[in-house]
Amino acid sequence: MFELVYYSISNTEITTEIVNDILKKSRATNAKKNITGCLLFYNKVYLQLLEGEKEAVQELYEKIKRDTRHYEVTLLVEHDVPERMFPGWSMAFHESINKESDINQFINNIDFFSKNNDLQTEATDMFLRMAKHIVVK
């Protein structure tokens, strides 16, 4: 099993419809390729953790890098892992965070997940730390 975390910056204003379209397509593609993970989008920043067979994940990442809807696609970490963090999620997604109370709850959820997760890896740790950084910024 293999994990990869990257972030990128949207080069356009993103609407709910655009995000839903991205999710719909990625969930269908990821299910076929047995890729799971989690996507966070906030203030024009995409943060994504992908997991699956190494070749499939790296192939998807190369496709993501060529997507013209974003730029500065930056690989944060990639490595082999013993098992998946998100085995049942073809692509989990956190809805928009619009209020300070939403941000505080999101951060509390990340802190709880970080402290109570036996499967945490370097990639999931990086994803969770970056997620906090993105929403607090």
133 pLDDT more than 70: yes
pLDDT at 70: 92
* Domains identified in the chain, total number: 1
Cα distance between residue 128 and residue 29, in whole Å: 24
Residue 129 structural domain: 2-136
For the whole prediction, is pTM greater than 0.75? yes
4 pLDDT more than 80: yes
Residue 19 sits in a domain of what CATH number?
3.30.70.100
15 pLDDT more than 90: no
82 pLDDT more than 70: yes
- Per-residue pLDDT reduced to its tens digit, 26-77: 888 888 999 988 888 888 888 898 999 999 999 999 999 999 989 999 999 9
Report the alpha-carbon angle 39-42-48, nearest 5: 20
Structure tokens, 57: 């994940």
Report the alpha-carbon angle 23-41-56, nearest 5: 50
